[in-house]
Amino acid sequence: QVQLVESGGGLVQPGGSLRLSCAVSGFTFGSYRMSWYRQAPGKERELVATASRSGDNTNYADSVKGRFTFSRDSARNTVYLQMNSLKPEDTALYYCNAVYIWDSKRQYWGQGTQVTVSS
C-alpha cells in the first residue's frame, strides 16, 4: 500500500522556520521524482520544490528561492522541506508528491500538512 505521510506543519511567526517531512512507503523510493506543492485558500495548487532521484538537481518556485531547501534521505525513504524566513504568504496546505520517472501518470499524493505564518 502506497503511503506518503507529511508532518512538521504548524503555526509560526513571520521570519520563523519549519521543517516539513514526507515519509514514503509502498513503492521504490529511488524510482520516483519527489516534489513539494502547496495550496492556499482560494488559490490553485503550485509547485514549491522538486528534485531528481539523486537530489542533485533541485528546482524551486521563485517565491521561495533562497529561503526553502529540499532534501531527500534515501536511507529513510523521506524527503524534507526546510523553510526559513517564512512569510504570511507562505501560509498554505503543503503536499508531498511522487511521480514515477518512467510513467508520469503514475503519481501519488500525501494528505497535506498545514503551515500557517502569522503573528
Q: Bridge-partner residues for 39, per DSSP?
A: 93
Q: From residue 14, how far is each of 3, 80, 85, 90 by CA, in Å? A: 31, 20, 7, 9
The CA distance from 45 to 100, in Å, is 20
Q: Are strands 92-100 and 32-39 parallel, antiparallel or unpaired?
A: antiparallel
- pLDDT per residue rounded down to tens, the chain (119 residues): 899 999 999 999 999 999 999 999 988 888 999 999 999 999 999 999 998 877 778 999 999 999 999 998 989 999 999 999 999 999 999 999 999 999 989 999 999 999 999 99
Cα 8 from chain centroid (whole Å): 11
